[in-house]
Structure 1
Amino acid sequence: MELFDWFAQTCRDNPSIPIFLTIGIGFWIGSLKYKGFSLGVVTSVLLVGVLVGQMDIAIPGPVKNVFFLLFLFAIGYSVGPQFFRALRGDGIKQVLFAAVVCLLCLSVTWGVVKVMGYNAGEAVGLFSGSQTISAVIGVGTDTMGTLGIDAARKKALIDIIPVAYAVCYVFGTIGSAYILANLGPWMLGGIKKVKADTAALEKEMNESSLTSDPAYIIANRPVAFRAYSVTSDFFDSPQSVAQIESHLHSQGRRLFIERVRSGHNIIEPTPETRITKGDEIVLSGRREYIIEDESWIGPEVNDAELLDFPAEQIPVMITRKTVAGLTVDELRSQTYMYGVSIKSIDRGGVAIPVLAKTKLMAGDTLTLVGLASEVNTAAPRLGYVDRPKTASDLILVGLGIVIGCLIGVLTIHAGNIPVSLSTSGGTLISGLIFGWLRSKRPSFGRIPKEAVWIMNNLGLNMFIAVIGITSGPSFVSGIKEVGFGLFLAGIVCTSLPLILSVIIGHKIFKFRPAINLGCCAGSRTTTAALGAIQESLDSTLPAMGYTVTYAVGNTMLILMGVAIVLMTS
């Protein structure tokens, strides 16, 4: 007991110790899974924080605010490009859908709050937990700080938020995934019908009118370089490189001859270079198409000298107006893409399927693979070569958060109610703007995605850890106060908007089933549900509906943390 008393006093004297203890144990518990179920990192950190908080530890207020602002700026920076482009591009239909879904989430929650007579703190916790938007805890807390109520009442409202969040979050996560991955397909005609429609849509999107290349469908198939000895009767008469590649393409295999050994000489071929029996050639392209070529070319050879040449794999952010809006099919038909394969497409951190009719957007990052000379010719025609770097533009981060906070503290009065975005809402908007500007001027304001991940995950969970620790002493009494009724209310607030969203996406917006379910997951910012949908449909196609709606949903739902406080206070 003396040892525990010493440890508790040490934690009280050094608040950084309990914070990092909570982070470490919370992340570990959040990584555990049982039959596919996991509490998730945020909920685990909160509950561990509550347990640690039983030692009655006081933590200075600015600590949690600093990390929360880092998190919000990182969120805005990540989704900014998709958010602003969608507002004026082909994604406007998905933008409108996401806005409808977010308004449904807010309206249903507000209705339940009015029926059940919940206070503002319970309302914020109910909304953030049932919609699995953890950032609302911070935005709601920040907004309550602007209300003209006495300090004791304000503290009581703020203390109940994490309690209500914890009660509602578990079903919010599990329920969202189940509804969209299982109930959703049933509502759209049954899983067999939805799978068949998804397969048909994939086939439609992969039909190429410009390049005879079906090798688009799985983004992460590797690109390979392999050498063959030319022995087949096909080469009884010499064939030019152009003739051979045309023959390959007519079979639906986009392969290229990169090098030729003729006798003792190794040459870089041109379209007119002629290949004869006894030569050796190097083919490049998707691995599954290269390995079929021994039958008509000849046996594969391990010619170290022939295969010793510079090949490159580089990420390129699309910034050229001449490329944004093209389909993958149209891009591959450009002369500067000769010899270059698209390995993957990243849109706001989400892998997009590489299909012939996948439309490219400014801000997408394509991973190009090919000979160094060919890749370096193609890359500048697409946009900015975003080579991996470790340095982050902390000038952008610091000044961006300052500008956001200054915007957020501006207050207007609606009657006697002060209305402002709060520093958190202002920082989110600042992140959106600076993220969008960076996509327009890629050489400015670079923050590597690894750094964004740290700001996002550590920022939010540091904030949640402090919330859990400081609310720990009142958490148990809070659970008794909110009762089992709040859990049931959370089920309603999670389920009803999602069920209505699936119907609206199908009946009004006329989305195809896979896109519809992806849009619903994105609008509700539930990545776990996207994974469950893709697994249920055995397809990555739902990601096509996820990225734009995620950008809009993340922004609107966080800002609705302000609205739910003002509507219920």
Structure 2
Amino acid sequence: MEWVIHLLRQHSELAIFLTIAAGFWIGKIKVGQFSLGIVTSVLLVGVLVGQLNITIEEPVKSVFFLLFLFAIGYKVGPQFFRGLKKDGLPQVGFAVLMCVGCLVITWILALIMGYNAGEAAGLLAGAQTISAVIGVADDTINGLNISTEQKNNMINIIPVAYAVTYIYGTAGSAWVLSSLGPKMLGGLEKVKAACKELEAKMGTSEADEPGFEHARRPVVFRAYTIENDWFGNGKTVEQLESYFISQGKRLFVERMRHNHTIINEILPGQLLQKGDEVVLSGRREFAIGEEDWIGEEVIDPQLLDFPVEVLPVMIHKKPYANRKLEFIRKQPFMHGVSVRRIKRAGIDIPVFAQTVVDSGDTLELVGLKKEVETAAKQLGYIDRPTNATDMVFVGIGILIGGVIGALAIHIGGVPISLSTSGGALIAGLVFGWLRSKHPTFGQIPESSLWVLNNVGLNMFIAVVGISAGPSFIQGLKEVGPMLFIIGILATSLPLLLGLILARYVFHFHPALALGCTAGARTTTAALGAIQEAVDSETPSLGYTVTYAVGNTLLIIWGVVIVLLM
């Protein structure tokens, strides 16, 4: 054991990876519905490892934190700037007010309890589940004109306060928004009905049919034997597809078998007759049940054995950006092409006819290779899966942001700046927005974003925990159990305020009210709980813009809360 301790002290990088491995493992353990979560687990394991008095050089922590903040900004940048346009301003205004509420309520509670700047920052980080506040507050405290001892005491207490308040910050947010939220908006059944009504208005009436996957309705290819007398002496492919459209369904004939011969190239004038077998493609909710009208479904490996391409495309061309999906679907180049999925700022949003597709959204197109690639080129940039990250883009972005953030102005002898961390966040926002406008450069694959986000943040948290380890127990005694109660108030009051603002001031639809409140507090776990409670994915429509604003402001509040205290 002494050899292991000596090894970890001599090679502190090994202590970090030990903390990461154990923290990720513990964070995935669930007892019923309860889980500590990855970040909290990494922090607590770091504190435990830190009892060995391991010293870690400061730059290690900063490098990973800057990568994390840039990645956060890059991810939400397109939605942040989109929200500044006319149609997004109400949601931006709501998110700003709610974020101000988070700051002010936390600040007042900290003043009442007599907390110092470190305790207040930890309370803000944990109660609002915005882990990045730890690093931003750390940078700000280091810039204050106070003694080194005072700085260390404040910085070491931040992770203590964070750990005490984070658990309710996560679980409590989900409970408040999924349980109390619908009641405050008129009752659960009323909210459910409003969500179904919104779905119908946006172009779907099949959401209540059994067997559907609400969060993701995939595109399917199914084969049928033509038996219906409607076909008479024959109908053309164009006539059949037009009939489907008249019924509100987008289904396409992709392949057929006539007289034991498979026909691959389907033309609009191709004749379909009773006894033929046809392959239809379309979204699942449209394809299910066609055997009741066309004829019996057949499982024919030979007929269904053909390549289909799934191609992600980033929307950026003006004719199709900020347009309803219904408009895009009606374009001639979309014949035979279905939209399987829409992702905005990493969040899946409903694939409804009335869903507005924003510049920077990624659509997953499904169909035959030729048709899909033709459609993708018309809509925007084909964002093919890749492992390559534009590190020139990332490096320059963090450098420019860090330089700007390091610039400080002095007011009353107090240096005020965004800090290098705040600058990296702002740079990420701008560079992410630029990427949505000019997608030929600056690519960061989703897998790389995951690494920058999760590994970047948790490497930082691991170092924080290890560094704070020796003083953590003493700090826990200082803050006392009352901090947990204060954390409950700091979590719950802003959420309740947000629901009141959403209903009575902004008059949002109930689904959007719940989504906007979850987004402004950047609580993705709560969004999932809300969607499950109301049995609808429509709340995600209010999540993305407010999430972008909330992620930005709540991180910056790490600077503000220290200066206020």
- TM above 0.5, one fold? yes
| Distance in 2 of aligned mates of 1:432 and 1:230 | 54
Q: Which moved more, 1:82-91 or 1:252-261?
A: 252-261
Query: Structure 1 residues 505 and 465, CA, compared in 2 at 3 Å: closer, same or farther?
Result: same
Q: Could you say what secondary structure the match of 1:90 adopts?
A: helix
2:77 aligned residue: 80
1:242 aligned residue: 238
Contact 1:219 1:345 in 2 (8 A): no
Contact 2:40 2:163 in 1 (8 A): yes
Provide TM-score, normalisation by structure 1.
0.95
Alignment of 1:33-432 (within 5 A): 33-206=30-203, 218=214, 220-263=216-259, 264=261, 266=263, 268-432=265-429
> 1:348-379, CA deviations, whole angstroms, 9 ceiling, x for partnerless residues?
11000111211110011011111112112211
Instruction: Note the aligned Cα RMSD (angstroms).
Output: 1.8
Given residue 545 of structure 2, which amino acid in structure 1 is its aligned partner?
Answer: V
Following superposition, the deviation at residue 132 of structure 1 comes to 0.7
Q: Could you say what secondary structure the match of 2:451 adopts?
A: helix
1:10 aligned residue: 7
Q: Could you say what secondary structure the match of 1:368 adopts?
A: strand
Following superposition, the deviation at residue 173 of structure 1 comes to 1.2
> 1:137-160, CA deviations, whole angstroms, 9 ceiling, x for partnerless residues?
000001111111111111111111
Following superposition, the deviation at residue 332 of structure 1 comes to 1.3
Q: Could you say what secondary structure the match of 1:87 adopts?
A: coil
Given residue 531 of structure 2, which amino acid in structure 1 is its aligned partner?
Answer: Q
Following superposition, the deviation at residue 301 of structure 1 comes to 4.1
Given residue 334 of structure 1, which amino acid in structure 2 is its aligned partner?
Answer: Q
Aligned residues: 559
> 1:111-131, CA deviations, whole angstroms, 9 ceiling, x for partnerless residues?
112222111111111111111
| Distance in 2 of aligned mates of 1:183 and 1:216 | 27
Alignment of 1:527-546 (within 5 A): 527-546=524-543
Given residue 44 of structure 1, which amino acid in structure 2 is its aligned partner?
Answer: S
**Structure 1: tracts of 5 or more residues without a match:** 209-214
2:460 aligned residue: 463
Following superposition, the deviation at residue 397 of structure 1 comes to 1.3
Query: Structure 1 residues 495 and 226, CA, compared in 2 at 3 Å: closer, same or farther?
Result: closer
1:32 aligned residue: 29
Given residue 37 of structure 1, which amino acid in structure 2 is its aligned partner?
Answer: F
Q: Which moved more, 1:306-315 or 1:154-163?
A: 306-315
Given residue 221 of structure 1, which amino acid in structure 2 is its aligned partner?
Answer: R
| Distance in 1 of aligned mates of 2:453 and 2:548 | 15
Following superposition, the deviation at residue 267 of structure 1 comes to 5.2
Contact 1:327 1:359 in 2 (8 A): yes
Moved runs in structure 1, 4+ residues, more than 6 A? none
Contact 2:61 2:460 in 1 (8 A): yes
Query: Structure 1 residues 354 and 217, CA, compared in 2 at 3 Å: closer, same or farther?
Result: farther
Query: Structure 1 residues 286 and 108, CA, compared in 2 at 3 Å: closer, same or farther?
Result: same
Given residue 354 of structure 1, which amino acid in structure 2 is its aligned partner?
Answer: V
| Distance in 1 of aligned mates of 2:557 and 2:450 | 24
Contact 2:262 2:303 in 1 (8 A): no
**Structure 2: tracts of 5 or more residues without a match:** 206-210
| Distance in 2 of aligned mates of 1:342 and 1:278 | 30
| Distance in 1 of aligned mates of 2:204 and 2:175 | 32
| Distance in 1 of aligned mates of 2:105 and 2:140 | 21
| Distance in 2 of aligned mates of 1:395 and 1:388 | 19
Contact 2:326 2:354 in 1 (8 A): yes
- 1:512 matches 2:512: no
Q: Could you say what secondary structure the match of 2:83 adopts?
A: helix
| Distance in 2 of aligned mates of 1:24 and 1:202 | 43
Contact 2:101 2:494 in 1 (8 A): yes
Q: Could you say what secondary structure the match of 2:186 adopts?
A: coil
Given residue 512 of structure 2, which amino acid in structure 1 is its aligned partner?
Answer: I
Contact 1:217 1:353 in 2 (8 A): no
- 1:503 matches 2:500: yes
1:473 aligned residue: 470
1:453 aligned residue: 450
Query: Structure 1 residues 475 and 252, CA, compared in 2 at 3 Å: closer, same or farther?
Result: same
Query: Structure 1 residues 260 and 171, CA, compared in 2 at 3 Å: closer, same or farther?
Result: closer
> 1:452-484, CA deviations, whole angstroms, 9 ceiling, x for partnerless residues?
100110111111111111111110100111112
Contact 2:255 2:262 in 1 (8 A): no
Q: Which moved more, 1:538-547 or 1:330-339?
A: 330-339
Following superposition, the deviation at residue 279 of structure 1 comes to 3.1
| Distance in 2 of aligned mates of 1:488 and 1:39 | 18
Provide TM-score, normalisation by structure 2.
0.96
Following superposition, the deviation at residue 380 of structure 1 comes to 1.3
Query: Structure 1 residues 539 and 295, CA, compared in 2 at 3 Å: closer, same or farther?
Result: closer
| Distance in 2 of aligned mates of 1:83 and 1:36 | 33
Query: Structure 1 residues 295 and 129, CA, compared in 2 at 3 Å: closer, same or farther?
Result: closer
Query: Structure 1 residues 269 and 165, CA, compared in 2 at 3 Å: closer, same or farther?
Result: same
1:212 aligned residue: none
Q: Could you say what secondary structure the match of 1:564 adopts?
A: helix
Following superposition, the deviation at residue 217 of structure 1 comes to 9.0
- 1:437 matches 2:404: no
| Distance in 1 of aligned mates of 2:486 and 2:295 | 68
Query: Structure 1 residues 176 and 290, CA, compared in 2 at 3 Å: closer, same or farther?
Result: closer
| Distance in 1 of aligned mates of 2:286 and 2:102 | 47
| Distance in 2 of aligned mates of 1:187 and 1:265 | 59
